[in-house]
Structure 1
């Protein structure tokens, strides 16, 4: 099944849907460093992107997609999220970086069987409620185009009248969206993103988001009630540390949860040499170099080793100090390496990131976890295949 990836970044969403069975025939990304990352991995014949076309490095607004009309199964992408990010300036529709109209345009020009778009959780804030409704209505009726002299509120009103009217011909999609916590799908990071999925209405597909597979309670059960987590990692009883509040919650559980336990930082990077204490061994691992300067301060305390990581961040002004850190049980902190961060985002180990540490962390902080994209993509693929 063919797909187009917009606003590809370093490729997290694209790799995930590729693993789900889609074949990308065009990749678009304006950022040179992200394109360099994809190009370098293609050149190294890394399996995740070996079959990808060369990325188009440019502004999506300058590209026409009409040649793909009727030839696509899926359009995916993460329209720039800074206008809605909790770390941004919350300008939304007044921000020139808001590319939702371009995502809608590509859907209109290509008429894919389905689409998957994602954005930051901040888009669902109450202050953006009207604009969120506007995005959904545009995705539902992509052929009802905003006029050159029409404000977005006026366009929304016209879309609503069309939606409630009797005649609703033309291109239409059945759209659902939900905030997903990646940790609940086996990603070792508490990362919440809002995901939009739409199926072309003529397909008659009924769909809902995949059920969660992992839970915090299951992790607490293994850490507090059974001890299986610590036994698996060969951690002595005297070295086991858990937040007292979480321990109290675990003691209230009546029975072992049916879901798998959340994956932790230790689960994910525990087999890697410590880049600060074992630099020679660490040098043998791709993108696994120690970065100095980490410090903890109120609100920036790092990610405990035995919990899923906090959300990796890119930041409006670069990586904010203390966010992308490991908090060791002994109280010390250090920055996650690029390789550790890539594992927390579930990128494959042979996938390398191009650029300096701050640049690669920006790519990773903006990425979609590969495994979350694969899970959603696989379920979309399964439903499309049922209508083949």
Structure 2
């Protein structure tokens, strides 16, 4: 269900706690509405990006904060948001989470029944990939809020979650227990969930996400955001005649065109075509010089499991799903006479803009491509917050203005609060060696499984 009702804010002063906050996609979304947020993120480089962007941050393990320092979180937080790590659920991943879906559902039921955390934590250690259990953390935070003396045992008013489509069955189970059973203190929520395509919300990229929006009973019926653009259909795009796959591989690439029938509007209310890479990158803005020369992008990545979304795209199409491999996308530039040559690959600034981050967002530290790929597209996040909180639709132009980074003094203060020191990590920060995936010997493989040792 999508919303067409008049906007009616449901909270006077929303304050977002963003679990697994990454480099700041949802925080940037909140910034568009002047909504304060606090992000918890354990990757050091993502935190450096957040500090440079001026975002309040805790460099910490989400699970450890819940266990050991929940009472230190600001008690005025009333919106819980999170996009748990997707590697074990992603189509591109090893699939440990997909194989553990039924097992995780049982843990959800046990948590809602009030079973002790310590017992469940001990059992979760047996999962082949410990990241699979992180999808439980939003629920565990929601429960912990009702047990917190610092909050006056007050539950969160709104919950907003997003993940890869493979997690949809878990969001469905979340919805069932939040509506029918309620938290252990009997707090219940009204919930909607579904799979949305980011290009239908103005993001110049095809990316499908399973989302959940919950409002505490008494705050009105929630609804999913209403699409602002048409979805991308690969079948609507045809290569001009006379071009074969070997020709394209050799660089003799012709411009694809949208079928005439696909652009015809049957009514004046039909939304516009989804935004393209050219829409996002052609014009100069901030330090971005603009990509005025027409280009093609070749990629075998970023299909969201849909083979029709792979392959070659032109600048008149949205980008394939931006992942940590965005720096491997090969960009071919071509002139009007069809002379084709390999051009510069996407810069991190451009990759961020394809994710709908503002130009000049201060990507920092190492693994910047992975940071970009892991982030919630800010414009998509803004639509989620808009629907969840009853706000007006976000202004896309606000996210196309160059981002103003924090000063060195501001960064030092943020890092002192987030890491414990103004210029370095401290003992309270997660250790880098704890952030690597488990050995391949415990990752599920096709065929015979190797047991964890």
Q: Same fold (TM over 0.5)?
A: yes
2 CA distance for matches of 1:175 and 1:73? 16
Give the C-alpha shift of residue 174 in structure 1: 1.6
Give the C-alpha shift of residue 102 in structure 1: 1.4
Instruction: Mark the runs of 5 or more structure 1 residues left unpaired by the alignment.
Output: 43-51, 145-168, 222-238, 274-281, 289-293
1:305 to 2:315 alignment: yes
Aligned residue in 1 for 2:160: 116
Give the C-alpha shift of residue 250 in structure 1: 2.8
1:6 to 2:22 alignment: no
Mean Cα deviation higher: 77-86 or 251-260: 251-260
Give the C-alpha shift of residue 196 in structure 1: 1.0
1:65 to 2:78 alignment: no
Give the C-alpha shift of residue 184 in structure 1: 0.7
Corresponding pairs, count: 303
1 CA distance for matches of 2:276 and 2:298? 21
2 CA distance for matches of 1:382 and 1:253? 30
Instruction: Select the residue among 165, 171, 175 that pairs with 1:136.
Output: 175
Matches within 5 A, 1:171-182: 171-182=187-198
**Cα distance change of structure 1 residues 325 and 179 upon mapping to structure 2, 3 Å threshold:** farther
> Is contact 1:305-1:326 (8 Å) kept?
no
2 CA distance for matches of 1:186 and 1:202? 32
Instruction: Mark the runs of 5 or more structure 2 residues left unpaired by the alignment.
Output: 1-13, 101-126, 146-154, 237-252, 292-296, 302-306, 393-453
1:337 to 2:347 alignment: yes
Instruction: State the Cα deviation string for residues 149-174 of structure 1 (Å, max 9, x = none).
Output: xxxxxxxxxxxxxxxxxxxx711222
Matches within 5 A, 1:157-172: 170-172=186-188
Instruction: Select the residue among 29, 32, 36 that pairs with 2:44.
Output: 32
Instruction: Select the residue among 67, 91, 101 that pairs with 2:136.
Output: 101
> Is contact 2:223-2:387 (8 Å) kept?
no
Matches within 5 A, 1:91-240: 91-92=96-97, 93=100, 94=127, 95-98=129-132, 99-110=134-145, 111-124=155-168, 129=169, 131-137=170-176, 139-140=178-179, 143-144=183-184, 170-203=186-219, 205-215=220-230
Give the C-alpha shift of residue 375 in structure 1: 1.6
Aligned residue in 1 for 2:120: none
TM-score, normalised on structure 1?
0.68
2 CA distance for matches of 1:347 and 1:373? 11
CA root-mean-square deviation: 3.6
1 CA distance for matches of 2:270 and 2:58? 45
SS in 1 for 2:167: helix
**Cα distance change of structure 1 residues 91 and 381 upon mapping to structure 2, 3 Å threshold:** same
Give the C-alpha shift of residue 73 in structure 1: 2.4
TM-score, normalised on structure 2?
0.59
2 CA distance for matches of 1:383 and 1:304? 35
2 CA distance for matches of 1:255 and 1:247? 18
Instruction: State the Cα deviation string for residues 129-182 of structure 1 (Å, max 9, x = none).
Output: 4x45444345555634xxxxxxxxxxxxxxxxxxxxxxxx71122221111111
> Is contact 1:117-1:195 (8 Å) kept?
yes
**Cα distance change of structure 1 residues 321 and 266 upon mapping to structure 2, 3 Å threshold:** closer
SS in 2 for 1:215: coil
